[in-house]
């Protein structure tokens, strides 16, 4: 019998139950409930079913969304409206989400977050409340989704550290993320990640111990995800604030608007995508002088990983790019100290410019960074990956290249496209292509594309060198 990361059995056994929502779910209208139940193409039921199953299988070490649905093909979820409020009916749900027949409280709360965000976003879109063709309108949409999720908290000094990194990392790297999280927790920092396993879980786990030692209450462990990735990166059990953004671009903007600094741990193509997104924003002339601490860190045996990343960034974007980040190897206390120092600068800048602590309004994120990139074969082939253009634009297209690889690896739509038409073709300036090919080969050799122990990785891309 297989086990998840907590040593609990994962047998495919199921439980059916009707549960009362925990964590505060507002009442729903009849129309909203009907849309959640509608299994047609225009309904939300399939989206609800997929996100809910990801939450119920929290802790599974698999980055293949097909495996999850294959193990629980008869799973279903319905939101019911009763006299005394909402009930969530689960049919053939994973047994691991229950203890003695009762759903685990934290999983119940995450289920509520799934229902809340799916209903809210779809209702706002239907009502035309979001202007998604305008940069200001998209930022407004990100703000409204975060506000509705009750994640934005005023009257709190800046202390939210976003941690990026891979779900498929070595044990040594995972232990290091916990040590960094511990040092951050001792300094009263809260943690925000992509909500999954690996480098998304470790900092939260380390911070929980430190927060307990400091007798700190009201700790925030925020998970920001989106429907295309949640099946491959189920929320880890420490997440106590989950928000599901509509797409990867709004997820990335949410990280940047919420966080007061970012720490990057070793990862793969998803982590490279996040790095390039952040650097593309920091390269914008309008954002010059806005403090935003960005630190790359890992244990000693990960030094070569960051050397490769640094080398690639310098080649593609110029040596000046390195002024936007620090690399600190094998020193969790130094990482935490540098982050606290950087966040102090963020606090002072926000005070001087009368910007909110809970949402970074001042940072300019232009429309091309916000519009969803649909990674199909034509779009991937059309990326302009050459250095005779503004650096922030090149960073944005490099981010899209990595985004396409993420989709081809783990997102259902991307996986289907690769199966049907073959690998994506990535072309551009020869020197950049050679460096990109070397970087991707290193990711494969270091098992950063798939979880160790899985099937051999087959690239979903071809880099023309």
Are 2-129 and 153-367 the same fold in CATH?
no
Contact 352, 392 (CB under 8 A): no
Segments of the chain scoring below 70 in pLDDT: 1-11, 23-24, 26, 39-43, 59-67, 83-84, 450-455
Looking at residue 365, its pLDDT comes to 97
β-bridge partners, 223: 193, 242
- Give the pTM: 0.91
Q: Where are the domains of the chain?
A: 2-129, 153-367, 371-463
- The DSSP H or E segment spanning 16 is strand 14-19
Q: Alpha-carbon distance 356 to 367, whole Å?
A: 22
Query: What is the Cβ-side half-sphere exposure of residue 19, based on CA atoms within 13 angstroms?
Result: 25
Could you write out the DSSP letters of every residue in 191-260? EEE-SSSGGGTHHHHHHHHHHHHTT--S--EEEEE-HHHHTTSPPPTT--EEEE-SSHHHHHHHHHHH-S
Shortest CA distance to 256 belongs to which of 124, 161, 131?
161
425: β partners? 462
pLDDT for residue 8: 52
Helix ranges (H only) for 75-201 are: 105-127, 135-148, 171-186
The rounded distance, in Å, linking the Cα atoms of 237 and 60 is 11
How buried is 352 (Cβ within 10 angstroms: 0-12 exposed, 13-18 middle, 19+ buried)?
Answer: exposed
Percent of the chain having pLDDT more than 70?
92
pLDDT of residue 234: 87
Q: What is the pLDDT of residue 1?
A: 42
**For residue 459, with 0-12 CB atoms within 10 Å meaning exposed, 13-18 middle and 19 or more buried, which class applies?**
middle
| Beta strands 14-19 and 85-94, pairing class | antiparallel
Look up residue 285 and give its DSSP letter.
G
pLDDT of res. 215: 97
Strands 160-164 and 190-193: parallel
What are the residue ranges of helices labelled H in 283-385? Answer: 303-317, 332-352, 367-370, 377-381
User: Which pLDDT does position 452 carry in this prediction?
Assistant: 45
CB 207 within 8 A of CB 200: no
Q: Domain 2-129 belongs to what topology?
A: MCP/YpsA-like (3.30.1850)
For the structural domain made of 153-367, what CATH number should be given?
3.40.50.450
State the Cα–Cα distance between residues 371 and 399, nearest whole angstrom: 13
423-450 residues labelled b (16+ CB within 10 A) or e (exposed): bbebbbbeebbebbbebbebbeebbbbb
- Distance between CA atoms of residues 188 and 190, nearest Å: 7
Question: Over the stretch 25-51, which tens digit does the pLDDT of each residue have?
Answer: 767 777 778 777 776 655 688 889 999
């Amino acid at each position: 019998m297989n086990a998840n990361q907590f040593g609990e059995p994962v047998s495919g056994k199921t439980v059916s139950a009707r549960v009362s929502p925990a964590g505060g779910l507002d009442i729903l209208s009849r129309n909203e409930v009907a849309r959640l139940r509608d299994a047609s193409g225009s309904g939300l039921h399939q989206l609800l079913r997929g996100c809910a199953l990801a939450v119920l299988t929290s802790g599974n070490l698999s980055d293949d969304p097909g495996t999850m649905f294959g193990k629980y093909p008869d799973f279903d979820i319905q939101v019911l409206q009763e006299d005394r409020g909402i009930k969530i009916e689960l049919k053939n749900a994973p047994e691991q989400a229950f203890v003695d027949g009762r759903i685990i409280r934290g999983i119940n709360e995450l289920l509520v977050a799934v229902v809340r965000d799916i209903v809210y976003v779809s209702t706002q879109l239907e009502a035309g409340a979001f202007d998604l063709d305008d940069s200001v309108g998209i930022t407004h949409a990100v703000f409204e989704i975060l506000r509705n999720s009750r994640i934005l908290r005023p009257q709190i000094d800046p202390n939210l550290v976003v941690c990026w990194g891979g779900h498929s990392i070595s044990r040594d790297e995972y232990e290091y993320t916990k040590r960094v999280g511990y040092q951050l927790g001792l300094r009263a920092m809260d943690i925000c990640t992509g909500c999954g396993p690996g480098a998304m879980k470790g900092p939260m786990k380390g911070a929980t111990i430190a927060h307990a030692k400091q007798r700190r209450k009201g700790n925030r462990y925020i998970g920001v995800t989106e429907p295309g990735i949640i099946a491959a990166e189920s929320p880890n059990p420490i997440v106590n604030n989950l928000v599901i953004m509509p797409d990867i671009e709004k997820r990335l903007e949410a990280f940047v608007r919420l966080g007061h600094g970012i720490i990057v741990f070793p990862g793969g193509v998803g982590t490279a995508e996040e790095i390039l997104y952040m650097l593309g924003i920091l390269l914008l002339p309008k954002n010059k002088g806005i403090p935003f601490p960005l630190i790359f860190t890992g244990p000693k045996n990960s030094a070569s990983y960051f050397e490769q990343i640094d080398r690639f960034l310098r080649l593609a974007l110029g040596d000046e790019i390195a002024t936007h980040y620090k690399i600190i190897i094998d020193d969790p206390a130094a990482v935490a100290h540098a982050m606290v120092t950087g966040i102090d600068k963020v606090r002072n800048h926000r005070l001087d410019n009368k910007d909110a602590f809970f949402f970074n309004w001042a940072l300019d994120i232009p429309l091309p960074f916000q519009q969803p990139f649909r990674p199909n074969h034509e779009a991937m082939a059309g990326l302009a990956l050459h250095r005779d253009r503004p650096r922030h634009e090149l960073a944005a297209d490099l981010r899209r290249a990595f985004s396409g690889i993420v989709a081809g690896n783990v997102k259902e739509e991307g996986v289907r496209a690769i199966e049907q038409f073959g690998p994506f073709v990535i072309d551009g300036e020869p020197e950049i292509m050679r460096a990109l090919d070397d970087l991707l080969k290193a990711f494969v050799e270091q098992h950063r594309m798939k979880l160790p122990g899985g099937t051999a990785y087959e690239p979903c891309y071809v880099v023309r060198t």
